[in-house]
């Protein structure tokens, strides 16, 4: 039986309306967890069937009312984008056909669209698409894990059977205090242990200090450790700064260590010819993490992993089974033997469709617009007496105010006023392990200069309100 068209009409209506109407909604509605849970438990006992159109309408209502609207043009938050329609269509089609990308032979169309997309993006990073391997991942955390596993397969092949216990020297991983904390989990997941993580000091610009790195690597080598992998972050989560990639590459090369660039968010700069030079040095990486669900404006989850050692990746993820279909000659590797996932959704379809719709130049326009809005915000804040404390060309602005520094109010009191009013959403962060500052990131290609002005107005109000309360 064909379902009445109304349910789909209501969805396509919502897809058309929500991106416009979200502007008028509170960015971050306040939810009482006890009330929400109780309401849901009363309504859904799962003992009797419910009409799907009713359930659909209810989910739409719930999501509108109880979600931080990261697609709101005044969500100046973490790296969560407004999504392109192409991504919504792609995720819908992917659910409809449910292609299984574990084996190429099960999903030739989806696998080849992913391959095409990854090759184009690899070229923008300065890689030769013919000699590298690239896969879509669930996100940046999986891509970073893939880097460590590939580095182990490459540099410590004896760990394949014996685990890290079989290694003569314990492998060490170098990150900075501003690196992403997925590496803490990865140290545990890989059996390396969190003692293997070296937190290299940062300089006053909150970027990894390459001199301190070289010293740390040298000391470890003397003390019997094996410098395995060095992470350079291109676009740190807190301050959006880019580590000195060429200098880190030099240290890695001299130490015979794997150089991984975590460009989960900042990788987006590669789409713009103007901004691409900021990533100089990324082309020397052994592997790169780049999330499409951050700055490429597609829905979660869509990470990407690029690696210039295909054989190491194959060894890291190899598995032999009797039940999986045979590899097809002339095809690419079966994704289940070149990545951590087994059953795989067509993750890359949304990136393919967005890239096909926009073209690289169209994407560059979106990225450059967000950079311009970041520059505008920096200017407006400075004009209004705020102090910008990070230095990056990317649209993350960390800032404070003389009256916060003087202890008259805190970032938390500023945020409380802002969250209660609900017109904008920003966060705060501790930079360099020292000062707690406010953080605003342009994450929506729909953010306008009026939205930026509203943010500054809201901040001014919060100063007044926060100081008197």
Give residues in contact with ligand PLP (CB under 6 A).
79, 139-141, 144, 180, 182, 233, 237, 262, 264-265, 291, 303
Which lies closer to ligand PLP via its Cβ, residue 289 or residue 332? 289
Q: Which residue of the chain is nearest ligand PLP when measured via CB?
A: 140
Which lies closer to ligand PLP via its Cβ, residue 70 or residue 417? 70
Which lies closer to ligand PLP via its Cβ, residue 90 or residue 456? 90
Which lies closer to ligand PLP via its Cβ, residue 70 or residue 404? 70
**Least separation in angstroms between CB 294 and ligand PLP:** 6
Which lies closer to ligand PLP via its Cβ, residue 290 or residue 399? 290
**C-alpha dist (Å) from residue 468 to 99, 409, 427, 449, 461:** 58, 9, 21, 29, 11
**Least separation in angstroms between CB 63 and ligand PLP:** 20
**Least separation in angstroms between CB 292 and ligand PLP:** 9
**Least separation in angstroms between CB 5 and ligand PLP:** 36
**Least separation in angstroms between CB 232 and ligand PLP:** 10
Which lies closer to ligand PLP via its Cβ, residue 141 or residue 442? 141
**Least separation in angstroms between CB 287 and ligand PLP:** 13
Which lies closer to ligand PLP via its Cβ, residue 233 or residue 462? 233
**Least separation in angstroms between CB 325 and ligand PLP:** 29
């Amino acid at each position: 039986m064909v379902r009445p068209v109304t349910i789909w009409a209501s969805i396509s209506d919502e897809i058309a309306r929500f991106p416009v109407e979200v502007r008028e909604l509170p960015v971050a509605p306040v939810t009482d967890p006890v009330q929400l849970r109780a309401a849901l438990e009363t309504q859904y006992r799962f003992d009797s069937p419910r009409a799907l159109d009713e359930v659909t309408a209810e989910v739409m209502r719930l999501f509108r009312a109880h979600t931080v609207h990261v697609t709101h043009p005044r969500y100046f938050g973490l790296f969560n984008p407004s999504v392109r329609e192409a991504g919504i269509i792609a995720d819908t089609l992917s659910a409809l056909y449910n292609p299984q990308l574990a084996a190429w032979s099960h999903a030739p169309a989806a696998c080849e669209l992913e391959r095409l997309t990854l090759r184009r993006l690899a070229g923008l990073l300065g890689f030769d698409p013919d000699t590298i391997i690239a896969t879509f991942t669930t996100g940046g955390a999986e891509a970073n894990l893939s880097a460590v596993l590939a580095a182990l397969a490459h540099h410590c092949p004896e760990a394949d059977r014996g685990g890290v216990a079989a290694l003569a020297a314990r492998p060490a991983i170098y990150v900075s205090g501003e690196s992403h904390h997925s590496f803490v989990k990865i140290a545990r997941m890989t059996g390396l242990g969190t003692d293997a993580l070296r937190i290299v000091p940062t300089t006053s610009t909150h970027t990894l200090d390459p001199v301190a790195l070289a010293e740390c690597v040298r000391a470890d080598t003397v003390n019997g450790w094996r410098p395995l992998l060095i992470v350079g972050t291109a676009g740190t989560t807190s301050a959006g700064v880019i580590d000195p990639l060429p200098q880190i590459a030099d240290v890695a090369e001299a130490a015979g260590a794997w150089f991984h660039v975590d460009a989960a968010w900042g990788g987006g700069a590669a789409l713009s010819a103007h901004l691409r030079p900021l990533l100089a040095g990324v082309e020397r990486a052994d592997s790169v993490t780049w999330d499409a669900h951050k700055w490429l404006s597609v829905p979660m989850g869509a990470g990407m992993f690029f690696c210039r050692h295909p054989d190491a990746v194959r060894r890291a993820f190899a598995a032999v089974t009797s039940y999986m279909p045979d590899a097809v000659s002339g095809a690419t590797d079966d994704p289940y033997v070149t990545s951590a996932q087994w059953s795989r959704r067509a993750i890359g379809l949304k990136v393919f469709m967005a890239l096909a719709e926009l073209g690289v130049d169209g994407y560059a326009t979106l990225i450059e617009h967000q950079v311009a809005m970041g520059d505008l915000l920096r200017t407006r804040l400075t004009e209004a007496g705020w102090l910008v404390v990070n230095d990056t060309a990317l649209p993350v602005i960390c800032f404070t105010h003389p009256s916060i520094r003087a202890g008259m109010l805190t970032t938390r009191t500023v945020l409380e006023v802002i969250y209660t009013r609900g017109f904008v959403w920003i966060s705060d962060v501790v930079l360099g392990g020292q000062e707690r500052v406010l953080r605003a990131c342009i994450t929506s290609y729909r953010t306008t200069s009026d939205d930026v002005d509203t943010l500054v107005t809201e901040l001014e109000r919060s100063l007044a309100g926060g100081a008197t309360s």
